[in-house]
């Protein structure tokens, strides 16, 4: 050792620097020299560094990075994220191949450390691997809570929540107070879900507990969304280098305490007998507590506390921020374009008039407004890369090899901005959807804000309605005065979902006679 040191110190500085630079260069070029693909017969893609893969070149705006890489490598490309292989899908044709034709191969999700903490070791609906447990959980939600009938019966609760919001905004207009669109609509969604879960309106935005839920949901979405070195480079798992596990454990504990309390309260209430809600139905807690199965092939004979907590936290995490962020983006896009705003308001006035609030049943008669909402979903899909899927087994896609458990990113955000799919893709133009059959419900692969197939959004019937109903109500009931800098700044704040970084706050001014608000 000392000989080497002596030898090195005898070299002139230039030679030493050159030696170090050459070694670094060789290290960087090594992967390019020894292989031209991320793995044998991988789809084309950028080659990264040994061990780290392409991670050092990715920013905290993964959806944007992947969109730009697709310009170079095409609609199906591969990359190594640390030691983990990933493929990225950026065209409707390949999305169809993966999410429809090869659906059974790609119906599970990538499980990370953060997911294990927050989703009870990936046993809750959103993350449980595709199989009998997933099928049972999903069936209970679609038949008991999100069936067409159940959604219809929840209509009075939606009306009550939205009218409550309009009334709060009316008071704010009188005192010329600023209101926050995303915060307010978040509480509408959270309270709707609490009605679905336990027939109670639990959250008061003016109280600490209500605000805590919003912050907690966002922090969880952030930690689930960001690439974590502990997942991608296995020997780092022990060290939790970004502190993700420590953070998520704390958040998960808070959410767990909240769900524990809901269950305890309900068990106490059930001592006095089982109560139907005002629609003559059982809410989610009672449905799960009542569930019994003696069928041999049912993995769940009854729901444990952990099973119930998993379902409750799924609802609050998946169903709140997604809807409220979409409404915030919708208000922003529409209010930035006075001519579009005018068309929407004139349609609303024609159909609804000015002597009452809008009803959900009015939405079907508002084709221009519906087209505008599709445009919001195109440019601002709530979950830009879907909730990442994974390959259950090694398989072939478009003639390329995809290894077992490769992560699959379907870049629906990128597809919404693809000039091969949309003319003037960055322009907010509801007209493009007028007279077009394209819809957001999972049949049209160029527009998949709720995903598609068996792992598509189970809450779509609720989310879709709430976005339309809340947004139309806000536009119809008030004129809006948003500061121009807030309206013009479209920077995104990134988690597994996308929020508007500069929050939309403004002062509402009533458009309808005072009597309507009372």
Using CB under 6 A, list all residues that contact ligand HEM. Answer: 125-126, 138, 193, 314-315, 318-319, 322-323, 326, 382-383, 386-387, 449-452, 455-459, 462-463, 467
| Joined tokens for residue 19 | 């030696």
Q: Is the dihedral of CA 337, 338, 341, 347 positive or negative?
A: negative
Q: Please say which residue, 123 or 323, places its beta carbon nearer to ligand HEM.
A: 323
Toward ligand HEM, which CB reaches closer, 382 or 414? Answer: 382
CB of 139 to ligand HEM, least distance (A): 11
142 DSSP 8-state letter:
I
- Of 140 and 467, the one with the shorter C-beta distance to ligand HEM is 467
CB 57 within 8 A of CB 48: yes
Question: Whose Cβ is closer to ligand HEM: residue 225's or residue 451's?
Answer: 451
Helices 460-477 and 367-379 pack at an angle, to 10 degrees, of 120
Nearest-approach distance from CB 467 to ligand HEM, in angstroms:
5
Closest CA to 469 of 349, 336, 339, 330: 330
> How wide is the angle at C-alpha 158 spanned by C-alphas 154 and 164, nearest 5°?
145
DSSP, res 239: G
Q: Pick the closer one to ligand HEM by CB: 53 or 382.
A: 382
**Residue 380: Cβ-neighbour burial (10 angstroms; 0-12, 13-18, 19+):** buried
Q: What is the nearest approach in angstroms of ligand HEM to the Cβ of residue 470?
A: 10
Identify whether the C-beta of residue 58 lies closer than 8 Å to the C-beta of residue 227.
Answer: yes
DSSP state at residue 302: B
Residue 363 beta carbon to ligand HEM: minimum distance, rounded to whole angstroms:
15
Count H helices and E strands in the chain, helices first: 21, 12
| Smallest separation, CB 207 to ligand HEM (Å) | 22
SS3 assignment, position 506: strand
Give alpha helix (H) positions in 359-455.
367-379, 412-416
Give the Cα separation of 97 and 436 in Å (integer): 23
Closer Cβ to ligand HEM, 37 or 135, answer by number: 135
Q: Token digits for 66? A: 């992947």
Pick between residue 55 and residue 220 the one whose CB is nearest to ligand HEM. 220
The residue length of the chain stands at: 518
Is 395 a known ligand-binding residue? Answer: no
Which one, 251 or 466, has the nearer CB to ligand HEM? 466
Q: What distance in Å separates the CA atoms of residue 390 and residue 403, rounded to the nearest whole number?
A: 10
258 within 8 A of 190, measured Cβ to Cβ = no
- Token pair for 440: 């957001």
Buried b (16+ CB within 10 A) or exposed e, 231-260: bbbeebeeebebebbebbeebbeebbebbe
Q: Would you say 38 or 189 has its CB closer to ligand HEM?
A: 189
* Cβ 307 vs Cβ 172: under 8 Å: no
Q: Which two tokens stand for residue 109?
A: 């999700």
Phi and psi (nearest 5°) for 44?
-60, 165
Question: How far apart are CB 387 and ligand HEM at their closest, in Å?
Answer: 4
* Feature table: binding site: 457
* Feature table: binding site for heme: 457
């Amino acid at each position: 050792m000392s000989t080497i040191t002596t030898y090195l110190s005898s070299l002139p500085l230039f030679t030493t620097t050159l030696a170090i630079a050459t070694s670094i260069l060789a290290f960087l070029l090594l992967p390019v020299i020894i292989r031209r693909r991320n793995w044998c017969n991988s789809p084309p893609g950028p080659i990264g560094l040994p061990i780290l893969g392409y991670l050092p070149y990715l920013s905290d705006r993964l959806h944007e990075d992947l969109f730009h890489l697709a310009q170079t490598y095409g609609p199906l490309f591969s990359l190594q994220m640390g030691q983990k292989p990933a493929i990225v899908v950026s065209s409707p044709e390949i999305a169809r191949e993966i999410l429809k034709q090869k659906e059974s191969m790609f119906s599970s999700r990538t499980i990370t450390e953060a997911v294990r903490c927050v989703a009870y070791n990936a046993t809750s609906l959103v993350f449980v691997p595709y199989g009998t447990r997933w099928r049972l959980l999903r069936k209970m939600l679609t038949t008991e809570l999100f069936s067409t009938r159940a959604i219809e019966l929840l209509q009075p609760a939606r009306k009550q929540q939205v009218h409550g919001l309009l009334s709060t905004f009316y008071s704010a207009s009188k005192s010329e107070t600023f209101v926050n669109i995303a915060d307010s609509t978040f509480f509408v969604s959270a309270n709707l879900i609490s009605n679905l879960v336990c027939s109670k309106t639990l959250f008061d935005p003016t109280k600490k507990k209500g605000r805590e839920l919003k912050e907690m949901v966002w922090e969880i979405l952030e930690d689930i969304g960001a690439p974590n070195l502990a997942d991608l480079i296995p020997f780092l798992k022990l060290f939790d280098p970004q502190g993700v596990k420590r953070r998520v454990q704390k958040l998960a504990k808070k959410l767990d305490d909240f769900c524990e309390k809901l269950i305890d309260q309900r068990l106490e209430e059930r001592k006095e007998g089982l109560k139907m809600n005002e629609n003559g139905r059982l809410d989610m807690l009672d449905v799960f507590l009542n569930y019994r199965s003696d069928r041999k092939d049912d993995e769940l004979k009854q729901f444990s506390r952990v099973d119930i907590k998993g379902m409750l936290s799924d609802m609050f995490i998946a169903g709140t921020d997604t809807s409220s962020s979409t409404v915030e983006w919708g208000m922003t896009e529409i209010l930035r374009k006075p001519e579009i705003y005018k068309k929407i308001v004139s349609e609303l006035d024609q159909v609804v008039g000015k002597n009452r609030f809008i009803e959900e049943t009015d939405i079907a008669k508002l084709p221009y407004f519906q087209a505008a909402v599709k445009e919001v979903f195109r440019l601002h899909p709530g979950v830009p890369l879907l909730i990442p899927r994974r390959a259950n087994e090694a398989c072939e896609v478009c003639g390329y090899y995809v290894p077992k458990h490769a992560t699959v990113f379907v870049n629906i955000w990128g597809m919404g901005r693809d000039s091969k799919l949309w003319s003037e893709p960055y322009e907010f133009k509801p007209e493009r959807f007028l007279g077009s059959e394209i819809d957001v419900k999972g049949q049209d692969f160029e527009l998949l804000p709720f995903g598609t197939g068996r792992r598509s959004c189970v809450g779509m019937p609720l989310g879709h309605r709430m976005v339309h109903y809340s947004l139309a109500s806000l536009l119809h009931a008030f004129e809006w005065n948003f500061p121009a800098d807030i309206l013009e700044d479209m920077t995104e704040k990134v988690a597994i979902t996308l929020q508007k970084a500069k929050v939309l706050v403004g002062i509402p001014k009533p458009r309808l006679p005072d009597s309507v608000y009372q």
